[in-house]
Amino acid sequence: MKFWSFLLALPLFILQGNSVADTVIRVAAQEASEPKFITVSQQGKPAIGGICIDIMRAMEKISPELHFVGDQTWLPRVRIDAAMKAGDIDAICGVQRIARNTTQYDFLDTVLFSVSYLLAVRADDDIDIQNWNDIRQLGDNGVILALHGFGIVDILKNKGGLKIDASATSSSSNLNKLIAGRGRFYCHRSPGIKLSIQQAGLEQKIRLLSKPQLTEKFYMGLSKTLPAEKAKKINAALVLLENSGELRRIVEKYQE
């Protein structure tokens, strides 16, 4: 049975004014993607929140016919991609316009948010680098840790000559590898990386470098098999959200 087949058995959703949601959009919460998706507490129970959850709830409010389902289920990025390809997921929130993604998804034009990618090192590492070439010259002593399946891996590989270890699937794993000396750097996005360091209790053992940095824009990606009418409704809601200023307000809540 496909992972998302349970959605077929879901009852009709009743929204504001007792109107039935006629446009169901299947999604998932991407693991290790803070603050896109984060663990929060609701009525004393763990739940999934974050930028993308807030964006989807705001889109439902502004366009009541929309209803996103599956956002309270964690999945690693590689499984989300596989589910999109299999037709079990309709949309993915917060992806970059890189070649691997553009071949898999259709992109909406609205920029959801922008992030900066920072490099973390051990606090006792006094290395001072200014650019990516400085890291290239370190050779095997300049291994960059990244998360498996994430867009930053493609971006770093495209720079050429960098030593990359993208075997880990969580920030906590990469931070522990960094502490253990199994990598010189950990490259991850901000906002997000500071929270990961804090949650791991490593504020005194890890520091962030100011250079080099990368800035990337993130968008809403849609399945290439999603019916055009559904895509139009999602796009219209997102445009309304941006024009109202609510999208900016949501993103600002999560700025470090």
Whether residue 149 contacts residue 78, with contact meaning beta carbons closer than 8 Å, is answered with yes
* pLDDT score at 15: 38
Instruction: Determine the Cα–Cα distance for residues 83 and 71; give it in Å rounded to an integer.
Output: 14
- Write out the residue limits of the CATH 3.40.190.10 domain(s) in the chain: 22-113+218-252, 115-215
**Partners of residue 147 on adjacent β-strands:** 168
pTM of the model: 0.86
Residue ranges with strand state E in the chain: 23-26, 29-30, 38-42, 45-49, 66-69, 74-75, 91-95, 105-107, 113-122, 144-147, 164-168, 185-190, 206-208, 214-223
Tokens describing residue 256: 């470090």
Round to whole Å and give the CA distance between 229 and 32: 32
Let me know the angle formed at the C-alpha of 238 by 232 and 240, rounded to the nearest 5 degrees.
Answer: 105
pLDDT at position 112: 98
Q: Residue 1: what pLDDT?
A: 47
- Residues of the chain short of pLDDT 50, as ranges, are 1-21
pLDDT of res. 256: 64
pLDDT, one tens digit per residue, over 95-127 is 999 999 999 999 999 999 999 999 999 999 999
Cα gap 190→110, rounded to integer Å: 20
Domain at 22-113+218-252: CATH code: 3.40.190.10
Identify the pLDDT of residue 131.
Answer: 97
Residue whose pair of structure tokens reads 């071949």 in the numeric block: 103
As a three-state string, the secondary structure of 94-126 is EECCCHHHHCCEEECCCCCEEEEEEEEEECCCC
Q: What phi, psi does 63 have (nearest 5°)?
A: -135, 85
Q: Which residues pair with 221 in a beta bridge?
A: 92, 107
The CATH number assigned to the domain with range 115-215 reads 3.40.190.10
Instruction: Give the contacts of 245 (CB within 8 A, at least 6 positions apart).
Output: none
Q: Which pLDDT score is estimated for 13?
A: 39
